[in-house]
């Protein structure tokens, strides 16, 4: 196993973050899992096993972010890697997106990642093999109608990744490009509105790739943490679908 054995996973209550945390825990990594929802977090920690601890916190709050990083370092005895998997993906047109929604999307998808890495840098410097993995999106270059704020936030995250690589060349910053994945993002969408957008996405070729499961994406992130995948760009987009007719 790699020397990256102490990992902070932010956004571990569901979806890809949960799959990463559970997979790492079952492989014997020492992990601290952060999420806003205590009940869902407890389920993740239980599934991950005895080497996992849970920390309830909000990474978009600077004070909470610093506290959760310090608590993680204290519990794990240091820090080798950070996986930032928290994300928000509201459905709706730009015209109908409120200032509050824009703020939430950018805070969750970009600001939280920046605050987490910033708080963790001093501890990662002490690791023999430091790394952080940030989840961006294949939709950056072609934002899906109805999900433009999400794509815009991931474009900003790409800028953060590029900047971190320049400012902190000692730190391996992995960009995880995620394609359509079966997570709980869509649970809060209005079914009627979602149905209309799905029809448009299908007609305009947005749904041209296979939908991955969270475990599929998590496996690629874990491979990077293991050291078995040396890339700084992890492709978790999936293969193109080829219609049978």
For the chain, domains (ranges, CATH) are 6-236 (3.40.50.720)
Residues with Cβ within 8 Å of 133's Cβ and at least 6 positions away in sequence, in order, are 81, 82, 83, 84, 174, 176, 221, 224, 225, 234
pLDDT at site 243: 31
- For residues 236-242, give the mean pLDDT: 49
Q: H or E stretch including 30? A: strand 30-35
- For residues 138-147, give the mean pLDDT: 94
CA 112 vs CA 66, 86, 161, 190: distances in Å: 11, 8, 13, 26
Cα–Cα dist 48/33, whole Å: 10
pLDDT digits (tens, 9 = 90+) for 2-55: 666 999 999 998 899 999 999 999 999 999 999 998 889 999 999 999 999 999
**Is residue 234 predicted with pLDDT exceeding 80?**
no
pLDDT digits (tens, 9 = 90+) for 76-105: 999 999 999 999 999 999 999 999 999 999
Q: H or E stretch including 35? A: strand 30-35
pLDDT digits (tens, 9 = 90+) for 101-136: 999 999 999 999 999 999 999 999 999 999 999 999
pLDDT at site 229: 61
Of the listed ranges 40-44, 60-64, 176-180, 239-243, the one predicted with least confidence: 239-243
Mean pLDDT score of the chain, rounded to an integer? 90
Number of Cβ atoms within 10 Å of the Cβ of 199: 10
pLDDT digits (tens, 9 = 90+) for 194-213: 999 999 999 999 888 777 88
Number of Cβ atoms within 10 Å of the Cβ of 96: 11
How many residues are given for the chain? 245
**CB distance 133 to 82 below 8 Å:** yes
Bridge partners (DSSP) listed for residue 134 = 84, 175
pTM for the structure as a whole? 0.91
- For residues 155-161, give the mean pLDDT: 97
pLDDT at site 244: 26
Confidence class for position 230, pLDDT limits 50, 70, 90: low
Lookup: tokens for 226: 């293991």
């Amino acid at each position: 196993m790699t020397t990256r054995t102490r990992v902070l996973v932010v956004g571990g209550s569901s979806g890809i973050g949960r799959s990463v945390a559970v997979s790492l825990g079952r492989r014997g990594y020492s992990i601290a899992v952060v999420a806003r929802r205590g009940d869902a977090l407890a389920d993740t920690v239980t599934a991950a096993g005895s080497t996992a601890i849970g920390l309830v916190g909000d990474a978009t709050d600077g004070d909470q972010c610093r506290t959760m990083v310090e608590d993680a370092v204290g519990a794990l005895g240091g820090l080798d890697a950070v996986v930032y998997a928290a994300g928000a993906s509201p459905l709706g047109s730009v015209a109908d997106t409120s200032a509050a929604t824009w703020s939430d999307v950018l805070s969750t998808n970009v600001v939280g990642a920046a605050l987490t890495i910033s708080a963790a840098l001093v501890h990662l410097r002490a690791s023999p093999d430091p790394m952080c993995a940030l989840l961006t999106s294949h939709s950056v270059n072609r934002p899906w109608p109805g999900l433009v704020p999400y794509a815009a936030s991931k474009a900003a995250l790409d800028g953060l990744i590029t900047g971190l690589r320049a400012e902190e060349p000692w730190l391996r910053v992995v960009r995880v490009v995620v394609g359509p994945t079966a997570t709980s993002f869509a649970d809060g969408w209005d079914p009627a509105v979602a149905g209309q957008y799905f029809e448009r996405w299908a007609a305009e070729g947005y749904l041209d790739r296979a939908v991955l499961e969270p475990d599929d994406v998590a496996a690629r992130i874990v491979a990077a943490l293991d050291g078995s995948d040396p890339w700084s760009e992890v492709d978790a987009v999936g293969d193109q679908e080829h219609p049978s007719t």
